[in-house]
Amino acid sequence: MTASAPLPPGVSAADFNQALKEFAGVVGHDWVLTSEEDRHTYLDAFAPGDADKHACSAALAPTTAEEVQALVKIANRHRIPLWPVSTGRNLAYGGSAPVLRGSVVLDLKRMNRVLEVNNELGYALVEPGVNFFDLFEALQAQGGKLWISTPAPGWGSVIGNALEHGVGYTPYGVNANSICGMEVVLANGDVVRTGMGGVNPGGQEWQVFKYGYGPVWDLMFTQSNFGVVTKMGIWLLPEPEAVANFAISLPDMGDLPVMVDTLRPLRLDDTINAPYTITNPYRSIMDPMSAQGKTRSTIYKGPGCMPLDFVEQTLRSRGEGMWNVGFNLFDSDKGLDLREAKIRAAFDKVPGAKVKTMRWHRGEPLAGWMRVSPVLFPLAGVDWYGGPGGHINYAPVVAPIGSRIAEVYDMVYRRYVEFGFDCYCGFLNIGGRAIVVNPCTFFNREDAEMTRRARELARVLYKDGAAKGFGDYRAHISFMDDVADMYGYNDHAARRLGDKVKDALDPNGILAPGKQGLWGSAQRVHKGKPA
Ligand code: ADP
């Protein structure tokens, strides 16, 4: 251990060193990572402030569920908090870094086997370290008959993304919906298989039926700190006959409500059978520039939020509208014809709407726009204000009613102007019906004043949203308590329930204390300190 490494709170240096020895007995000395250089790789690369506030004391990299079991038992004996990550690419939400400074990162990326691809039954069984590229390659090696629902960007783990309620862009949408059967190591070292995985001896049913017998546990292990997921089944989309891309543009700044209200019934009756993303005018300018590696100064040099007039003129000079929506549909060619006719008929009623489409047919090479093969480009925007950059996302869930979405957007836009940031905003159709209004604040991490402003903007938006009755669906490690505070019904009954489950499963609070605002009795004293 180097002098600058933090200790887990409440643990003496002697106890910590003893625990490290015991951990090494399980994973080997090489995989107990304590050097400054190693620990540095677990800092939040996009930290909205001092990354050291969420520094880990060490990291452990096991290769099997049995090793994970042994590690949690040692952690329990020494009261050492563990922060599990699959690949730790949870960028904008904290990367690999723990909420509680001094926690030990339990890095599962060496557990990286695709255990099964089943073309007949339409699923894969994966370990935590499998990222979207690995799974894509494994599926291609089996003939490419099954497709994944890749998030943007695609370098994170399949399990990490599903556990955090990440979204893909096929009809399967939110990857947590596609989870079918998990293996989980509990805080006491016990290992459970959920659903049909509990049948002993099991057969071919673990990954085909989500409900098993009795309570369904799988989703309880998502966005929580109740266990370490060591295997997960995921349903995959059988390759369709055809895919159509839609790019629909509306001309005027006031067109956001009509965009939302036109899309809603089409999504509700499944004419639009996969998630859509609406982009605001700032995003429509910034995304293409970032994709070419261009930063803000190449188009605008003034301070503050780029003026709306300038943004409007820039888009108009390119013949583009102010509000754009994109989505892909998956069906037979004939099915797509019917869907397209309905969508065109709906947007024909909106003045100035332009609808562009393109199609892919089975047998043709996969195209980038299909978002079926993983890509990395969406990360390019972080250096918008020069680098090294970072970004913070605000992500309230809003019902897809035009006036309501416009109200939230207006609230967001005013704050971006007030805090002096370009108002980059997407509207992500998540979970079939809702829209996550998703403004993203880019900042230059070398600029302490800008970083502070970005952090303050996030806190103000959480408060504004909560006052209007909105809650976020996900949070950065620095803001997990702020977002948990939004869910205040009946004196925070939801958090009290979470804490009760936490205390029952993990009385010493060794798994990811503070995650999603769940501290449990043993670690609650650390809430709010020191970050
Ligand atoms: P990705 O690399 O896919 O972006 P991470 O590996 O960073 O995702 O995981 C995101 C978050 O999900 C982690 O910070 C952690 O809280 C939780 N998590 C990830 N993998 C596991 C796991 N196998 N078991 C329990 N929690 C996990």
Specify whether 324 is located in the same domain as 302.
Answer: yes
Active site residue 473: yes
End-to-end Cα spacing for the chain: 23
Q: Is the pLDDT of residue 139 over 60?
A: yes
DSSP code, position 224: S
What is the C-alpha separation between 337 and 177, in angstroms, rounded? 28
**Residue 402 lies inside a defined structural domain of this protein:** yes
In this structure, the answer to whether residues 174 and 323 fall within a common structural domain is: no
**pLDDT attached to residue 2:** 45
330: domain CATH number is 3.40.462.10
| Torsion sign, CA atoms 160, 163, 167, 170 | positive
Residue 193 lies in a domain: yes
Which helix (DSSP H) or strand (DSSP E) does residue 19 occupy?
helix 13-27
Q: Any idea what the CATH number is for the domain that residue 501 is in?
A: 1.10.45.10
Pair 454, 435 in one domain: yes
446 neighbors 402 (Cβ within 8 angstroms): no
For residue 41, pLDDT beyond 50: yes
| pLDDT surpasses 90 at 284 | yes
424 CA distance to ligand 1 middle (Å)? 26
pLDDT digits (tens, 9 = 90+) for 452-467: 999 999 999 999 999 9
pLDDT at 506: 98
Secondary element (H or E) of residue 247:
strand 242-250
Based on the fold, state whether residues 405 and 423 are members of the same structural domain: yes
Element counts in the chain: helices (H) and strands (E): 14, 19
359 and 451 in a single domain? The answer is: yes
Token pair belonging to 251 = 């001309």
* Residue of 59 and 154 predicted with greater confidence: 59
Both tokens of residue 52?
A: 């050291």
Q: Are residues 193 and 255 in the same domain?
A: no
**Do 279 and 257 fall into the same domain?**
yes
CB of 157 shorter than 6 A to ligand 1? yes
169 lies in the same domain as 29: no
Residue 308, Cα to own-chain centre: how many angstroms? Answer: 30
β-strand partners of 235 = 123
Q: Is the pTM of this model over 0.85?
A: yes
Task: Give the pLDDT of residue 531.
Answer: 43
C-alpha 86 to ligand 1 mean position (Å): 5
Kindly state whether residues 454 and 384 are assigned to the same domain: yes
Residue of 64, 85, 111 best suited for mutating to test ligand 1, as the one with most atoms within 8 Å of CB:
85
Asked whether 398 and 437 are in contact (CB, 8 A), the reply is yes
Of 396, 433, 392, the closest CA to residue 411 belongs to: 396
Instruction: Say if ligand 1 is within 6 A of residue 161 CB.
Output: yes
Write the DSSP string, 79-138. Answer: T--EEEESS---TTTTTT--SSTTPEEEE-TT---EEEEETTTTEEEE-TT-BHHHHHHH
The residue segments making up the domain with residue 522 are 481-526
Whether 489 sits among the annotated catalytic residues: the reply is: no
Distance CA 40, CA 343 (A): 50
pLDDT band per the 50, 70, 90 thresholds, residue 3: very low
Cα of 187 to ligand 1 centre, how many Å? 16
Give the position, in ligand 1's atom list, of the atom nearest the Cα of 89: 2
Q: Which amino acid is at 166?
A: G
424 labelled catalytic = no
Residue closest via CA to ligand 1's atom 15 equals 85
| Residues composing the chain | 531
Do 339 and 460 fall within a single domain? yes
User: Cα(458)–Cα(440) distance, rounded to whole angstroms?
Assistant: 9
- 416 C-alpha to ligand 1 centroid (Å): 30
pLDDT of residue 378: 53
CB contact at 8 A, 498 and 518: yes
Q: What per-residue string of b and e applies to 123-160 under the rule 16 or more CB within 10 Å gives b?
A: bbbbbbbbbbbbbbebbeeeeeebbbbbbbbbbbbbbb
Name the 3-class secondary structure at 292: coil
Specify the ligand 1 atom closest to the Cα of 91.
4
- Please compute, for residue 511, the number of CA atoms within 13 A of its CA located in the half-sphere on the CB side: 30
Domain end, chosen from 87, 107, 127, is at: 107
Rounded Cα–Cα distance for residues 527 and 67 (Å): 29
Q: Are 478 and 48 in contact (CB under 8 A)?
A: yes
The pLDDT tens digits for 94-133 are 889 999 999 999 999 999 999 999 999 999 999 999 999 9
Q: Please state, rounded to an integer, the average pLDDT across all residues of the chain.
A: 94
Nearest atom of ligand 1 to the alpha carbon of 131: 3
